[in-house]
Amino acid sequence: MSILVDHKTRLLVQGITGNEGLFHTRSMLEYGTNVVAGVRPGKGGEWVLDGKIPVFDTARVAVEATGANTGIIFVPARFATDAIYEEADAGIQLIVCITEGIPVQDMMRVRHYLDQKSVRLVGPNCPGLLTPGEAKVGIIPGDIAIPGTTGVVSRSGTLTYEVLYALKKHNMGVSTCVGIGGDPINGTDFIDALGMFEEDPNTENIVLIGEIGGADEERAAEYISDHLTKPVVGFIAGQTAPPGKRMGHAGAIVEGGSGLAADKVKALEAVGVKVARHPEEIPSLLM
Protein backbone atom coordinates (compact mmCIF):
# COMPACT_ATOMS: atom_id res chain seq x y z
CA MET A 1 0.00 0.00 0.00
CA SER A 2 0.99 3.64 -0.42
CA ILE A 3 -0.53 7.08 -0.65
CA LEU A 4 -0.96 9.32 -3.71
CA VAL A 5 1.22 7.43 -6.23
CA ASP A 6 1.79 3.75 -6.99
CA HIS A 7 2.13 1.33 -9.92
CA LYS A 8 -1.30 2.45 -11.20
CA THR A 9 -0.17 6.06 -11.65
CA ARG A 10 -0.34 7.25 -15.25
CA LEU A 11 1.86 10.33 -15.44
CA LEU A 12 1.71 13.37 -17.71
CA VAL A 13 4.75 15.68 -17.81
CA GLN A 14 4.27 19.40 -18.55
CA GLY A 15 7.44 20.89 -20.06
CA ILE A 16 8.79 17.51 -21.10
CA THR A 17 10.98 18.88 -23.89
CA GLY A 18 12.91 21.30 -21.66
CA ASN A 19 16.25 20.34 -20.11
CA GLU A 20 14.86 19.69 -16.62
CA GLY A 21 11.69 18.06 -17.85
CA LEU A 22 13.53 15.67 -20.15
CA PHE A 23 16.21 14.82 -17.58
CA HIS A 24 13.78 14.00 -14.80
CA THR A 25 11.32 12.23 -17.11
CA ARG A 26 14.12 9.86 -18.07
CA SER A 27 14.88 9.30 -14.38
CA MET A 28 11.22 8.66 -13.52
CA LEU A 29 10.85 6.30 -16.47
CA GLU A 30 13.99 4.36 -15.54
CA TYR A 31 12.67 4.02 -11.98
CA GLY A 32 9.56 2.31 -13.31
CA THR A 33 7.03 5.14 -13.20
CA ASN A 34 4.35 4.78 -15.85
CA VAL A 35 4.98 8.00 -17.79
CA VAL A 36 2.35 8.03 -20.53
CA ALA A 37 2.53 11.53 -22.05
CA GLY A 38 4.26 14.86 -22.26
CA VAL A 39 2.88 18.32 -23.05
CA ARG A 40 4.59 21.16 -24.88
CA PRO A 41 2.61 23.61 -27.03
CA GLY A 42 3.78 23.46 -30.64
CA LYS A 43 5.48 20.08 -30.19
CA GLY A 44 2.38 17.91 -30.54
CA GLY A 45 2.98 14.79 -32.60
CA GLU A 46 6.62 14.44 -31.57
CA TRP A 47 8.08 11.67 -29.41
CA VAL A 48 10.87 11.87 -26.84
CA LEU A 49 13.25 9.48 -25.11
CA ASP A 50 13.81 7.21 -28.10
CA GLY A 51 10.16 7.18 -29.07
CA LYS A 52 8.90 6.06 -25.66
CA ILE A 53 6.78 9.10 -24.73
CA PRO A 54 4.34 10.93 -27.05
CA VAL A 55 4.15 14.73 -26.85
CA PHE A 56 0.86 16.63 -27.10
CA ASP A 57 0.00 20.30 -27.57
CA THR A 58 -2.43 20.41 -24.63
CA ALA A 59 -3.08 18.53 -21.42
CA ARG A 60 -6.70 17.87 -22.39
CA VAL A 61 -5.71 16.05 -25.57
CA ALA A 62 -3.02 14.14 -23.69
CA VAL A 63 -5.49 12.96 -21.04
CA GLU A 64 -8.05 11.94 -23.65
CA ALA A 65 -5.44 9.98 -25.60
CA THR A 66 -3.57 8.29 -22.76
CA GLY A 67 -5.79 8.23 -19.67
CA ALA A 68 -3.24 10.16 -17.60
CA ASN A 69 -4.44 10.65 -14.01
CA THR A 70 -1.45 12.47 -12.50
CA GLY A 71 0.50 15.48 -13.74
CA ILE A 72 3.90 16.95 -12.97
CA ILE A 73 5.04 20.44 -13.91
CA PHE A 74 8.57 21.38 -15.03
CA VAL A 75 7.92 24.80 -16.55
CA PRO A 76 9.26 28.27 -15.59
CA ALA A 77 7.46 30.20 -12.87
CA ARG A 78 5.83 32.65 -15.28
CA PHE A 79 4.02 29.76 -17.01
CA ALA A 80 3.51 27.41 -14.07
CA THR A 81 0.16 28.71 -12.83
CA ASP A 82 -1.38 28.38 -16.30
CA ALA A 83 0.03 24.85 -16.48
CA ILE A 84 -1.66 23.99 -13.17
CA TYR A 85 -4.99 25.41 -14.37
CA GLU A 86 -4.66 23.50 -17.65
CA GLU A 87 -4.07 20.16 -15.95
CA ALA A 88 -6.95 20.70 -13.52
CA ASP A 89 -9.32 21.59 -16.35
CA ALA A 90 -8.19 18.49 -18.25
CA GLY A 91 -9.37 16.25 -15.42
CA ILE A 92 -6.07 15.52 -13.68
CA GLN A 93 -6.82 14.86 -10.00
CA LEU A 94 -3.24 14.96 -8.63
CA ILE A 95 -0.77 17.65 -9.72
CA VAL A 96 2.85 17.88 -8.58
CA CYS A 97 4.52 21.24 -9.21
CA ILE A 98 8.33 21.26 -8.96
CA THR A 99 8.65 24.89 -10.12
CA GLU A 100 9.99 27.43 -7.64
CA GLY A 101 9.56 31.19 -7.60
CA ILE A 102 5.79 31.34 -8.21
CA PRO A 103 4.42 34.58 -6.67
CA VAL A 104 2.38 34.17 -3.49
CA GLN A 105 -0.66 36.00 -4.91
CA ASP A 106 -0.68 33.68 -7.93
CA MET A 107 -0.62 30.66 -5.63
CA MET A 108 -3.49 32.05 -3.57
CA ARG A 109 -5.64 32.15 -6.69
CA VAL A 110 -4.46 28.68 -7.77
CA ARG A 111 -5.22 27.16 -4.37
CA HIS A 112 -8.73 28.65 -4.34
CA TYR A 113 -9.41 27.33 -7.85
CA LEU A 114 -8.13 23.81 -7.13
CA ASP A 115 -10.11 23.58 -3.88
CA GLN A 116 -13.29 24.30 -5.83
CA LYS A 117 -12.49 21.48 -8.26
CA SER A 118 -11.31 19.03 -5.55
CA VAL A 119 -7.92 18.68 -7.26
CA ARG A 120 -4.92 17.85 -5.06
CA LEU A 121 -1.71 19.84 -5.58
CA VAL A 122 1.68 18.86 -4.16
CA GLY A 123 4.04 21.84 -4.17
CA PRO A 124 5.03 24.17 -5.66
CA ASN A 125 8.77 24.38 -5.03
CA CYS A 126 8.91 20.79 -3.84
CA PRO A 127 10.81 17.57 -4.62
CA GLY A 128 7.61 15.63 -5.29
CA LEU A 129 6.58 12.09 -4.35
CA LEU A 130 8.29 8.73 -4.01
CA THR A 131 6.68 5.38 -3.30
CA PRO A 132 9.73 3.10 -3.21
CA GLY A 133 9.54 0.21 -5.62
CA GLU A 134 6.42 1.55 -7.32
CA ALA A 135 6.55 5.13 -8.58
CA LYS A 136 8.62 8.29 -8.45
CA VAL A 137 6.88 11.53 -9.40
CA GLY A 138 9.41 14.31 -8.95
CA ILE A 139 13.12 14.71 -8.36
CA ILE A 140 13.72 12.58 -5.25
CA PRO A 141 16.56 10.11 -6.05
CA GLY A 142 15.02 6.67 -6.27
CA ASP A 143 18.01 4.75 -4.95
CA ILE A 144 18.07 6.37 -1.49
CA ALA A 145 14.95 4.65 -0.17
CA ILE A 146 13.60 1.12 0.08
CA PRO A 147 9.99 -0.10 0.45
CA GLY A 148 8.71 -0.26 4.00
CA THR A 149 6.23 1.00 6.55
CA THR A 150 7.42 4.51 7.47
CA GLY A 151 5.58 7.46 5.97
CA VAL A 152 7.68 10.59 5.44
CA VAL A 153 6.34 14.13 4.99
CA SER A 154 8.70 17.07 4.66
CA ARG A 155 8.91 20.80 3.95
CA SER A 156 12.59 20.50 3.04
CA GLY A 157 14.09 18.97 -0.09
CA THR A 158 17.67 18.06 0.74
CA LEU A 159 16.82 17.08 4.31
CA THR A 160 14.27 14.68 2.89
CA TYR A 161 17.03 12.92 0.96
CA GLU A 162 19.22 12.77 4.05
CA VAL A 163 16.46 11.21 6.15
CA LEU A 164 15.50 8.67 3.49
CA TYR A 165 19.10 7.55 3.18
CA ALA A 166 19.51 7.35 6.96
CA LEU A 167 16.47 5.08 7.12
CA LYS A 168 17.82 2.92 4.30
CA LYS A 169 21.17 2.50 6.07
CA HIS A 170 19.26 1.03 9.02
CA ASN A 171 17.26 -1.23 6.67
CA MET A 172 14.12 0.78 7.40
CA GLY A 173 11.81 1.26 4.44
CA VAL A 174 9.29 3.89 3.42
CA SER A 175 5.66 3.53 2.36
CA THR A 176 5.56 6.92 0.61
CA CYS A 177 7.60 10.11 0.88
CA VAL A 178 5.70 13.37 0.36
CA GLY A 179 7.73 16.52 -0.24
CA ILE A 180 5.19 19.29 0.35
CA GLY A 181 7.57 22.20 -0.30
CA GLY A 182 8.30 25.22 1.85
CA ASP A 183 6.49 28.06 0.11
CA PRO A 184 4.05 30.19 2.16
CA ILE A 185 1.11 29.01 0.02
CA ASN A 186 1.11 25.44 -1.21
CA GLY A 187 -1.29 22.63 -1.92
CA THR A 188 -0.90 19.57 0.30
CA ASP A 189 0.20 20.37 3.86
CA PHE A 190 1.34 18.40 6.89
CA ILE A 191 -2.21 17.74 8.08
CA ASP A 192 -3.27 16.37 4.68
CA ALA A 193 -0.34 13.95 4.56
CA LEU A 194 -0.69 12.91 8.21
CA GLY A 195 -4.33 12.07 7.64
CA MET A 196 -3.54 9.93 4.60
CA PHE A 197 -0.77 8.09 6.43
CA GLU A 198 -3.11 7.45 9.37
CA GLU A 199 -5.60 5.80 7.00
CA ASP A 200 -2.95 3.81 5.10
CA PRO A 201 -2.83 0.26 6.57
CA ASN A 202 0.76 -0.24 5.41
CA THR A 203 2.12 2.83 7.21
CA GLU A 204 3.05 1.97 10.79
CA ASN A 205 4.88 5.15 11.81
CA ILE A 206 5.52 8.63 10.44
CA VAL A 207 8.45 11.01 10.11
CA LEU A 208 7.62 14.74 9.96
CA ILE A 209 10.39 17.07 8.79
CA GLY A 210 9.68 20.73 9.46
CA GLU A 211 11.61 23.96 9.46
CA ILE A 212 11.47 27.49 10.85
CA GLY A 213 8.84 29.93 9.67
CA GLY A 214 5.06 29.88 9.76
CA ALA A 215 2.94 27.76 12.07
CA ASP A 216 2.43 24.59 10.03
CA GLU A 217 4.26 22.41 12.54
CA GLU A 218 2.24 23.79 15.45
CA ARG A 219 -0.99 23.06 13.58
CA ALA A 220 0.32 19.58 12.77
CA ALA A 221 0.98 19.01 16.48
CA GLU A 222 -2.67 19.83 17.28
CA TYR A 223 -3.83 17.43 14.57
CA ILE A 224 -1.55 14.68 15.84
CA SER A 225 -2.98 15.10 19.33
CA ASP A 226 -6.59 14.94 18.14
CA HIS A 227 -6.53 12.46 15.26
CA LEU A 228 -3.43 10.25 15.03
CA THR A 229 -2.93 6.84 16.59
CA LYS A 230 0.39 6.05 14.88
CA PRO A 231 3.75 7.13 16.40
CA VAL A 232 5.38 10.22 14.90
CA VAL A 233 9.05 11.23 14.95
CA GLY A 234 9.94 14.81 14.05
CA PHE A 235 12.86 16.98 13.07
CA ILE A 236 12.91 20.78 12.79
CA ALA A 237 15.53 22.41 10.57
CA GLY A 238 16.90 25.90 11.19
CA GLN A 239 17.42 25.75 14.93
CA THR A 240 20.44 28.07 14.67
CA ALA A 241 18.96 30.48 12.13
CA PRO A 242 19.15 34.19 13.09
CA PRO A 243 15.73 35.86 13.60
CA GLY A 244 14.33 37.81 10.65
CA LYS A 245 16.55 36.13 8.07
CA ARG A 246 15.14 33.97 5.32
CA MET A 247 16.82 30.58 5.23
CA GLY A 248 16.23 28.51 2.11
CA HIS A 249 12.53 28.28 1.34
CA ALA A 250 10.37 31.34 0.89
CA GLY A 251 8.35 30.28 3.91
CA ALA A 252 11.35 29.71 6.16
CA ILE A 253 11.49 33.11 7.78
CA VAL A 254 11.00 34.00 11.41
CA GLU A 255 9.10 37.23 11.96
CA GLY A 256 7.62 38.92 15.01
CA GLY A 257 8.70 36.17 17.37
CA SER A 258 6.71 33.47 15.57
CA GLY A 259 7.99 30.49 13.61
CA LEU A 260 10.88 29.77 15.97
CA ALA A 261 12.35 26.27 15.90
CA ALA A 262 12.17 26.02 19.69
CA ASP A 263 8.42 26.69 19.66
CA LYS A 264 7.86 24.01 17.04
CA VAL A 265 9.91 21.45 18.94
CA LYS A 266 8.00 22.28 22.14
CA ALA A 267 4.61 21.92 20.41
CA LEU A 268 5.50 18.55 18.92
CA GLU A 269 7.02 17.14 22.08
CA ALA A 270 3.96 18.25 24.06
CA VAL A 271 1.79 15.83 22.06
CA GLY A 272 4.17 12.89 22.32
CA VAL A 273 6.24 13.35 19.18
CA LYS A 274 9.88 12.34 19.61
CA VAL A 275 11.96 15.14 18.06
CA ALA A 276 15.42 14.28 16.75
CA ARG A 277 18.36 16.59 17.36
CA HIS A 278 19.80 15.71 13.94
CA PRO A 279 18.50 13.64 10.97
CA GLU A 280 20.76 10.66 11.68
CA GLU A 281 18.99 10.20 15.03
CA ILE A 282 15.61 9.54 13.43
CA PRO A 283 16.03 5.77 12.79
CA SER A 284 16.87 5.10 16.45
CA LEU A 285 13.80 7.05 17.58
CA LEU A 286 11.59 4.90 15.35
CA MET A 287 12.85 1.63 16.87
Yes or no: say if 128 and 153 are a contact pair by the CB < 8 Å rule. Answer: no
What gap in Å lies between CA 226 and CA 240, rounded to an integer? 30
Catalytically active residues, by annotation: 249
217: nearest Cα among 204, 197, 234: 234
Residue 147, φ and ψ in degrees, nearest 5: -65, 145
Q: Enumerate residues 6+ apart whose C-beta is below 8 A from 172.
A: 148, 150, 283, 286
210: nearest Cα among 181, 231, 230: 181
What gap in Å lies between CA 162 and CA 210, rounded to an integer? 14
